[in-house]
Chain A
Amino acid sequence: MNEILTAVIPVVIIGIICGAVLVIASKLMAVKEDERFPKIRECLPGANCGACGFAGCDGYAKALCEKEGTATNLCVPGADAVSKQLSEIMGVEFEDVIEQVAVVHCVGDCHKTQDKYDYAGIQTCSAAKLLYGGKGSCTYGCLGLGECVSVCPKNAISIVDGVARVNSRECIGCGLCTKTCPQKLITLVADVEKVVVTCSNKDKGAVTRKVCTNGCIGCKKCERVCPSGAIKVIDNCAVIDYSKCPDCEDFGVCAKNCTTGCIMLSDLSGLHRFKKEEK
């Protein structure tokens, strides 16, 4: 028994002395953290998505503390609720967050496109893309293997008939999917918009028509009917300049007149509108 005690006691004593020294040192030399930092960090959703333009939520919180004039409405996933809390902590005017929703610019599912071959390789979009630009007939379209699904923090994306679909009620607009998609099919669109182009094919009309019944053939009909000049066909594919949409006199005329139906009316406002009503 004695042998054990003679071994244990010195170690315990040394341990206690070391601990005491550390406690004293940490009290004496404590670094003063900005007291707003933990508060801000608590408000932020913690998804570390980088939609605010800083390196994760910590980076944004730090920028808010240290750099005067950092906007409080940069957190898209947190939406108005977070912006409100942040503006209270920082003591600045509340600014509305422009909520954004991810939109997949492709609806070429298995009914509208054909397969070139059976793909049996690694089940990721980037791998499939390496083999003749994917198995689908359209080389611009969704590959349907769900790399966007795997990065989505809210499980808002699902693959339906081989094409990614975003559930705008769940989407928080973090933009992780837009960075992941090897086809660059997904973009963030403000949730107030009502029309979206659901095709990204840049081939000539005749080629597009062969590979997908939904593809934009670049006929420029939308360009002609759009009263505010918001739609331009760039590289054989329609692109909407949303900044001109609010003044539209004949809303939805582009979607009604689209030859192939690739311009669609859609309701992007999901969860965010719901949140606003709640308040």
Chain B
Amino acid sequence: MTKLVVILLSAVFINNYVLSRFLGICPFLGVSKKLDSATGMSLAVIFVMLMATAATYPIQIYLLDPNGLGYLQTIVFILVIAALVQLVEIVLKRYLPSLHKSLGVYLPLITTNCAVLGVTILNIDEGYTFVEAMVNSLGSGLGFFLAMVMFSGVRSTIEGSDIPESFKGLPVTLTAAAITSLSFLGFSGVIENLFPM
């Protein structure tokens, strides 16, 4: 049980996918302008991460590994994730059209989101069991959510402040992202001391 908590917390804070591993930067910069679209995007990512892990983990364990096809991991995972995202898009369009509209182009972009692919591959590499893999995906999704929500707050503050003309837009956003990611460095080592194993 302690191990699950450690996996969850370290996925959220220490190995935060956006701010520590630098995966999934595109939606992080693209959709974080508004809080509600940032929340929607993050929920979609959490959902896709969980679905992707649930789908790819059995494929790896029961199909690829026994047949010595481990080298097909990347291409098969990309294929499965792309199909999943398309499925999510169809479902969203039917049942949550407003969220579908606000996500816009970023939902198809989850297809090639390296954070999602990264979670599924790292789950295998770390040698997690299925439950641990799911918990790790949930934690990674929550970490993404945390980063997105935090950064949308930072960006709304930036929007209201007086910035030199040449610094407006992407330069100030990237600098703010760097500082936000720096702050997450402070979490390293916390979990190990909280739960000595």
Which residues of A does B touch, CB under 8 Å? 6-7, 10-11, 14-15, 18-19, 21-22, 25-26, 29-31
Pairwise interchain contact A26-B67, C-beta atoms closer than 8 A: no
Which residues of B does A touch, CB under 8 Å? 59, 63-64, 67, 69, 71-72, 75-76, 79-80, 82-83, 86-87, 90-91, 93-94, 97
User: B79's contact among A14, A25, A29, by CB below 8 Å, is which?
Assistant: A14
Pairwise interchain contact A31-B80, C-beta atoms closer than 8 A: no
Residue of A whose beta carbon sits closest to that of B71? A7
What residues of chain A lie closer than 8 Å to B69, measured between beta carbons? 6-7, 10
Pairwise interchain contact B79-A22, C-beta atoms closer than 8 A: no
Pairwise interchain contact B83-A19, C-beta atoms closer than 8 A: yes
What residues of chain B lie closer than 8 Å to A21, measured between beta carbons? 83, 87
Shortest distance between the CB of B66 and any CB in chain A (Å): 11
- Cα–Cα, bound, A6→B91 (Å): 34
- Cα–Cα, bound, A230→B83 (Å): 66
Pairwise interchain contact B79-A31, C-beta atoms closer than 8 A: no
Pairwise interchain contact B72-A11, C-beta atoms closer than 8 A: yes
Pairwise interchain contact B76-A11, C-beta atoms closer than 8 A: yes
What residues of chain B lie closer than 8 Å to A29, measured between beta carbons? 90-91, 93-94
Question: Mostly helix, strand, loop or mixed at chain B's interface?
Answer: helix
Shortest distance between the CB of A11 and any CB in chain B (Å): 6
What residues of chain A lie closer than 8 Å to B76, measured between beta carbons? 10-11, 14
What residues of chain B lie closer than 8 Å to A15, measured between beta carbons? 79
Shortest distance between the CB of B57 and any CB in chain A (Å): 14
Beyond A18-B79, A21-B87: 12 further Cβ-contacts under 8 Å? A7-B72, A10-B63, A11-B76, A14-B79, A25-B87, A25-B90, A25-B91, A26-B90, A29-B90, A29-B94, A31-B93, A31-B94
What residues of chain B lie closer than 8 Å to A30, measured between beta carbons? 94
User: B97's contact among A10, A22, A31, by CB below 8 Å, is which?
Assistant: A31
What residues of chain A lie closer than 8 Å to B94, measured between beta carbons? 29-31
Of A7, A18, A31, most B-chain CB atoms within 10 Å: A18
User: B83's contact among A6, A7, A11, A18, by CB below 8 Å, is which?
Assistant: A18
Pairwise interchain contact B72-A22, C-beta atoms closer than 8 A: no
User: A14's contact among B59, B91, B97, by CB below 8 Å, is which?
Assistant: B59
- Cα–Cα, bound, A19→B87 (Å): 10
- Cα–Cα, bound, A31→B94 (Å): 6
